[in-house]
Amino acid sequence: MAVALLSGGLAAGGLAISMLAAPLFTTLPTGMYIPVHQGLVTRFDPFMPVNLLVCLVCDVALVITAPTAGVRGAAALAAVLLVCAGTVSLTRNVPINRWLATLDPRALPADWERLDPRERWIRWNRVRGGLAVAALVANVGAATALM
């Protein structure tokens, strides 16, 4: 439970930070936005998936071994929410991150205005961040049920 709370808290916190900072991306000129996004992603990407996965493994272990139905239910809910957050990350945010990593801010595609992914990335980032925070709340519920 302690590891689930720690890793889930780190994941939710990291995604919450990016949820709060992401709207600033829309205020940056494109020439600044691309390098800022590229720099932040390389720092968060190795960290966030590991925390989500560790928390998910802990929650699955709790579903199997927890002493009460309340703890098992809360851990199962957290696990489902984490799977959803991971799915959003892999199917929505990661492809955008990978594409942005290939861009040179001095040589953007001619149709950049149409392709600019900022609003889409921010929207999906809010979804996955909300799911990770909800998973943390479910884990806090599981920990409370253990007390």
Confidence of residue 40 (pLDDT cuts 50, 70, 90): confident
From CA 127, how far away is CA 142, in angstroms rounded? 23
pLDDT, residue 25, reads 87
- What is this structure's pTM? 0.93
Q: What is the pLDDT of residues 101-128, one digit of tens each?
A: 999 999 999 999 999 999 999 999 999 9
In Å, what is the CA distance from 64 to each residue of 71, 72, 73, 84, 145? 10, 7, 10, 20, 16
